[in-house]
């Protein structure tokens, strides 16, 4: 299809003020993307209020992820927060292990198969890699979930969610390398 810049611009709303067609770029393919919101404390202060505000953003975003065949089925959305050290200390103790000082451990989030044998195989592979990397496995935590509001399609493919806690090797001086 041969479209000149004028005909492409005519189809583009003025408020978008897109550049003209050039090279591989063609403004006719522009479209809105999924919503994103940011909430921060400029001084780096951690608070639950920031989490509440982030949840409010999620609720107010018209489109938070791909929609499925049911109104309650989609690919989900979430928030990214700093490491909740105080919370992790509480739940790790409940899970049967203690955490070292903040910055001396990491947490991995795993979406695992529901089948127990398959899940145990996946966990064993993760534990092997942790050892091979010279780190120490502290323990696993099963993340509580509530699926009452999920559609049947989502429920059928719902993973078993677990977190793994790993202690940083004392010889690993660089935090970024550990991460």
- Say how many Å lie between the first and final Cα of the chain, rounded: 48
pLDDT band at 79 (very low <50, low <70, confident <90, very high): confident
DSSP code of residue 12: S
Residue 96 has pLDDT above 50, yes or no: yes
CA dist 12 and 29 (Å) reads 10
Q: pLDDT, tens digit, for every residue of 138-156?
A: 999 999 998 888 888 888 8
Handedness of CA 144, 106, 159, 46 (dihedral sign): positive
- At residue 114, does pLDDT exceed 50? yes
pLDDT in tens, 5-61: 444 444 545 555 788 899 888 888 776 656 677 888 889 888 889 999 988 887 777
Span 125-150, mean pLDDT? Answer: 94
Measure the CA–CA gap between 75 and 158, rounded to whole angstroms: 11
User: Is this structure's pTM higher than 0.85?
Assistant: no
> Catalytic residue among 34, 67, 69, 122, which?
34
For this structure, is 67 an active site residue? no
Closest CA to 85 of 99, 71, 64: 99
Answer with the residue of higher pLDDT: 55 or 67.
55
CATH number of 83-179: 3.30.70
How far is the C-alpha of 94 from the C-alpha of 88, rounded, in Å?
Answer: 10
């Amino acid at each position: 299809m041969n479209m000149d810049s004028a005909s492409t611009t005519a189809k583009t709303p003025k408020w978008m003020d897109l550049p003209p067609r050039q090279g591989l770029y063609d403004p006719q393919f522009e479209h809105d993307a999924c919503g994103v919101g940011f909430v921060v404390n400029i001084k780096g202060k951690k608070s639950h209020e920031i989490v509440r505000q982030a949840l409010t953003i999620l609720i107010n975003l018209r489109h938070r992820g791909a929609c499925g065949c049911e109104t309650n089925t989609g690919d989900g959305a979430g928030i990214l927060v700093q490491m909740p050290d105080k919370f992790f200390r509480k739940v790790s103790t409940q899970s049967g292990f203690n955490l070292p000082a903040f910055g001396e451990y990491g947490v991995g989030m795993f979406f695992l198969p529901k089948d127990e044998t398959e899940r145990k195989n996946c966990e064993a592979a993760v534990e092997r890699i942790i050892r091979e990397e010279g780190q120490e496995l502290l323990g696993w935590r099963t993340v509580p979930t509530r699926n009452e509001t999920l559609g049947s399609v989502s429920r059928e493919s719902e993973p078993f969610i677990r977190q793994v806690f790993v202690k940083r090797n004392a010889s690993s001086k660089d935090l970024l390398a550990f991460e």
